[in-house]
Amino acid sequence: MSVLVYTESEGGKFKKTAFEVASYAKEVANMLSTTVTAVSVNVDDSSELGKYGVDKVLEIKNDKLSNFNAKAYADSLKQAAEKEGAKVVVVSSSADSKFLASMLAVHLNAGYASNVVSLPESASPFTVKRSAFTNKAFNITEITTDIKLIGLSNNAFGLKEASGAAAAEGFEPSLSDEDFTVNVTSVDKATDKVSIADAEVVVSGGRGLKGPENWGMIEELADVLGAATACSKPVSDMGWRPHGEHVGQTGKPVATNLYIAIGISGAIQHLAGINSSKVKVVINNDPEAPFFKAADYGIVGDAFEVVPQLIEKLKEFKANNA
Amino acid sequence: MKILVCISHVPDTTSKINFTEGDTKFDTNGVQFVINPNDEFGLTRAMWFKEKQGASVDVVNVGGVETEPTLRKALAIGADNAIRVNTEATDGFYVSKQLAKIVQDGGYDLVIAGRESIDYNGGMVPGMLATLIGANFVNTCIGLEVEGDTATAIREIDGGKETSTAKLPLVIGGQKGLVEESDLRIPNMRGIMMARKKPLTVVEPVETTPETKVVKFEKPAPKGEVTLVSPDNVGQLVELLHNEAKAI
């Protein structure tokens, strides 16, 4: 039995999403009166997972897995799930986890629900709520297979501490050359910047900023908030900002605690992409901009005047609350 | 090289989303359907392989007769043949099984699917399909080159990108970046005329049991009014975000 959870790491340390999926797995395990087993790959110390309700950690340590490899990781998780007799497997919604999840589903003959936003509505039948139509709606999905695979939306559940200790156990999946047929030749990753997927706060700029040369204040605001930067579709289409920053229906979805939109009018496709963010702020000089209907807080004003003031006020706030 | 592009027939990105029959069915009333944007980037990239490397390009959709105009549009953009698997696309696994049969029968070297459809956002089909047919798989693909039997693919990762190489057969989950938005093609009159004469083959589904089913749809709760802060009092926003929203 048991609930299996894949706890992602980077550079030997767990990512925040690892603690979120662990917290979620714990609650699912409580519903099913069972325990949680986590799988970690090349993590130095996995004991921290105990704080989030994990009972046991299968620690994989293998140099061949030092770079993420979806096929080999999916195969490893399959073997871990079989060893534990897991009936429910939980993964995050990171790019890597989404990459491996559909492969893992086939390996385990598991029905897979992605973008799940809350705990199962019921355990029998096993139903979960997931977002669809790019956050314009939800659907309640029943997973009808014996083994269930859940992809949890980032920041949908949050962290829940539980008292407990995770017992570490070495695990060596048997991997062959067949697992390494897609070979990573280079990784290009900004290590000094917060990625949109991992960010608690996202600061996003639109056409209202008039040109790429004006992004300095967006980056400064993001810096003060420890935020990731993002942009609207026209901005990425015009090449002002890289594609990877485009959020919206055909770009990245954003499910963050705080989303600040500057000079973005709020086209339906953009709003769909950011809808599951918890608190939305808009700064725009057009009071008729549709974003004001979707936002929690708004300032009708010139971004070039408001943003520098906001940066100052946030710096003061940080100095006083340090 | 034989390329298959998987096409989802989805509501236009500007569509208002509503449900009928006690919130169990998507309301198609007044909705314009289009080629799934993630698939359209892939289709356009496939056209490049056709024109520059002499590849053949077929398109496939799993769906009812109502999806044929979307397949015809793909033919008008330049695909050679269209295939429609005549069944309702019930879940990602079911669709993947149908596509697996098409890929095996057609002997395709490269399958280009979108990383997800913009309606159900399942993001399952490319990876499931690749695993079912034993092909290599690269998801969230933003760049693709093929030389001989080897592909070089660029994948978007959280906070950057990653380049990898893999032998064909390969399935990719594609998205914007495979080609630029400005490279997308609007079918011209000649393309539309030619598309009418191109083959659109209807095949019957293989028997498979879906693994998930949608029980009910829900719309998000209506949102409250926006709280406006004066541009002369920006400090109030910081206060509200801290004390009320608890977001900072």
Confidence grade of residue A79 (pLDDT, cut at 50, 70, 90): very high
Please indicate whether, in this complex, the C-beta atoms of A139 and B235 are within 8 angstroms of each other. no
Contact A140, B218 (CB under 8 A): yes
Residue B126: cis peptide before it, omega within 30 degrees of 0: no
Nearest CA in chain A to B218: A138
Portion 255-294 of A in contact with B at CB < 8 A: 257-258, 268-269, 272, 275, 278-279, 281-282, 292-294
Q: Which of A198, A205, A247, A201 has the alpha carbon at shortest distance from A227? A: A201
CA distance A283 to B248: 17
What average pLDDT does the segment A258-279 reach?
A: 94
For residue A18, the model assigns a pLDDT of 97
CA A321 to chain centre: 28
Confidence of residue A192 (pLDDT cuts 50, 70, 90): confident
Residue A165, min C-alpha distance to chain B (Å): 30
Q: Is the CB of A102 less than 8 angstroms away from the CB of B217? A: no
Q: How far apart are the first and last CA of chain B?
A: 54
A119–chain B Cβ distance below 8 A for any pair = no
Nearest Cα residue to B161 out of A13, A244, A232:
A244
Partner-chain contact B124 A188, CB within 8 Å: no
What are the tens digits of pLDDT across the range A36-66? 999 999 999 999 999 999 999 999 999 999 9
Where residue A164 falls among pLDDT bands split at 50, 70, 90?
A: confident
Q: Is the pLDDT of residue A191 over 80?
A: no
Omega before A125 cis (within 30°)?
yes
Q: A53 CB contacts (<8 Å, ≥6 apart)?
A: A22, A23, A25, A26, A27, A29, A36, A160, A162, A164
Does A143 contact B247 at a Cβ distance shorter than 8 Å? no
Please report the pLDDT score of residue B189 as a whole number.
96
How far is Cα A149 from Cα B42, in angstroms, rounded to an integer?
28
Q: List CB contacts (< 8 A) between A186 and chain B.
A: 162-163
Q: How confident is the model at residue A253 (pLDDT cuts 50, 70, 90)?
A: confident
Q: Indicate the pLDDT class of residue A163, thresholds 50, 70 and 90.
A: confident
Q: Is A80 on the interface with B (CB under 8 A)?
A: no
CB contact under 8 A, A201 and B247: yes
Hunting for tokens 């002499």 — which residue is that? B54
User: Mind telling me how many Å the CA of B197 is from chain A's nearest CA?
Assistant: 32
pLDDT of residue B208: 97
Answer whether A141 sits within 8 Å of B213, measured CB to CB: yes
Q: What is the pLDDT of residue A190?
A: 79
Q: Rounded to the nearest 10 degrees, what angle do helices B37-53 and B68-77 cross at?
A: 40
Distance from C-alpha of B112 to C-alpha of A42, rounded to nearest angstrom: 33
Q: Sign of the C-alpha dihedral, residues A103, A108, A109, A110?
A: negative
Give A116's contacts in chain B (Cβ within 8 Å): none
* pLDDT on residue B168: 98
Do residue A101 and residue B118 have CB atoms under 8 angstroms apart? no
Task: Say whether residue A297 is in contact with chain B using an 8 A CB cutoff.
Answer: yes
Which amino acid, residue B49? F
Q: Contact at 8 Å (CB) between B157 and A190?
A: no
pLDDT at A116: 98
Q: What's the pLDDT at B109?
A: 98
Nearest residue in chain A measured CA to CA from B183: A237
Q: Percent of chain B, pLDDT > 90?
A: 96
Distance from CA of B194 to the nearest CA of A (A): 29
Are A186 and B162 an interchain contact pair (Cβ–Cβ within 8 Å)? yes
A112: contact with B, CB 8 A cutoff: yes
Give me the pLDDT at residue A1, please. 81
Q: Phi and psi (nearest 5°) for A137?
A: -160, 175
Q: Would you call B222 helix, strand, or coil by DSSP?
A: coil
Give pLDDT < 70 ranges for chain B.
Answer: none
Q: Which of A309, A287, A312, A288 has its CA nearest to residue A300?
A: A287
What's the whole-number mean pLDDT along residues A74-98? 98
Bridging pattern class, strands B33-35 and B9-11: antiparallel
Closest-CA distance, A320 to chain B, in angstroms, reads 12
- Residues of chain A with pLDDT > 90, as a percent, come to 90
Q: Are B216 and A139 in contact (CB under 8 A)?
A: yes
Mean pLDDT of chain A: 95
pTM here is: 0.94
8 A C-beta contact, residue A105 and residue B128: yes
DSSP label at A228? E
Asked whether the beta carbons of residue B127 and residue A101 sit closer than 8 angstroms, the reply is yes
| Residue A20 φ then ψ, to 5° | -70, -45
Looking at residue A317, its pLDDT comes to: 96
